[in-house]
Amino acid sequence: MPGSVYAIPRHERLSWWERVYLPEILRGLWITSVHLLKNIVRIDRRITIEYPDVQPTFPVGYRAEHRLMWRPDDTPRCTACMLCATACPADCIEIVAEDVGDNRVEKRPRIFTINELRCVFCGLCVEACPCDAIRMDTGKFENSAYTRQEFLYDITKLMHNHPEGASPYSIALY
């Protein structure tokens, strides 16, 4: 739009060589060729791994699938305080509380569901939990299923989603 505040006047004229963009096309082809040859010659420095033959390594604080921790009497450690559901920015945690009838524990979750398709794996639910009931340290990263319903992790799946060799009763985080 001529006369607009946002229009930037351009006074120099492009040559025919610059208007066909041939130098930029050749430059892009040169950069691509150099990267291709580097990857062919230096196989040991390649970023791509041969998955599933070579398993990837993850850092210590990697956030994987969720799991619920147990009490010694094999009940969930969760007290249904709703702090994890409140802290979740994706609103993927659904908790319905029920009365336990025990004086030591005020309530527990009757329904505890995490929608893994909606989860952004931020870890705010783990940070918000005052009783260390929910963790994301399973190390499982292969989230695949045939239906969307399989990504709704209910309390049963969360209670049994522990990594190999890890105790569902442990108190230490890692």
pLDDT digit string (tens) for 15-67?
787 777 888 899 899 999 998 898 888 877 777 778 888 888 888 888 889 99
Q: How many CB atoms lie within 10 A of CB 134?
A: 24
159 in Cβ contact with 68 (< 8 Å): yes
pLDDT of residue 173: 43
pTM score of the predicted model: 0.69
Share of the chain above pLDDT 70, in %: 94
68-80 pLDDT per residue, tens: 999 888 888 999 9
96-142 pLDDT per residue, tens: 999 888 777 788 899 999 999 999 999 999 999 998 999 998 888 88
Write the Ramachandran bin of 120: left for phi over 0, alpha for psi from -120 to 50, otherwise beta: alpha
Find out whether the peptide bond into 130 is cis, omega within 30 degrees of 0: no
Q: Please say whether the dihedral angle defined by the alpha carbons of residues 49, 54, 59 and 61, taken in this order, is positive or negative.
A: positive
Question: What is the set of domains in the chain, with CATH numbers?
Answer: 67-159 (3.30.70.3270)
- 82/106 Cα distance (integer angstroms): 13
